[in-house]
Amino acid sequence: MKYQVGKIGRVIVARFEDKEDVLGNLVNIAKKEKIKAGVFYIVGGMREGRIVVGPEEDKIPPKPVWKQLGESHEVVGLGTIFWEKKNPKIHFHGAFGKKDMVKMGCLREKSETFLVLETIIIEIKGIKAKREFDPVSGLTLLKL
């Protein structure tokens, strides 16, 4: 285990409008506000998204299982912001519900707001973490 201790910096409250890119907006805020480390919470609706719902098998490197939202869903989730080289890299896990169906997974591609998403971003100061590509797993992982 590796860890660092930081302090809470700024708190940003954002509203994403209908059809806006969820992941893109998070990246844009992190760039504009120069948030090098942070955690965020999301609640609201998404109309589109591609999520990973686990690996096909418990092997490394993992082969992801993809699911498409494809229509409006309620969403609640949380994630982290750390930079990979010169850009913020978002890691977001959420639960996505529609009628009697709930999906849980890691939002990685194509994300679009339905009606409104409320987001709270909490900046973490004093952390020297970053994301780096790990050739063994084939993933971009947190490095402390």
For the chain, domain boundaries: 10-143
Provide φ and ψ at 72, rounded to 5°.
Answer: -60, 140
Question: Residue 123, CB half-sphere, CA atoms under 13 Å: how many?
Answer: 15
The tokens for 142 are 């947190």
How much is the pLDDT for 110?
Answer: 86
SS3 (DSSP) at 69 = coil
Instruction: Give the per-residue pLDDT at 95.
Output: 98
CATH 3.40.50.720 for domain 10-143? no
Question: Which regions in the chain score pLDDT beneath 70?
Answer: none
Task: Give every CB contact of residue 92 below 8 A, 6+ residues apart in sequence.
Answer: 22, 23, 26, 40, 42, 77, 78, 79, 106, 107
Cβ pair 110, 96 in contact under 8 A: no
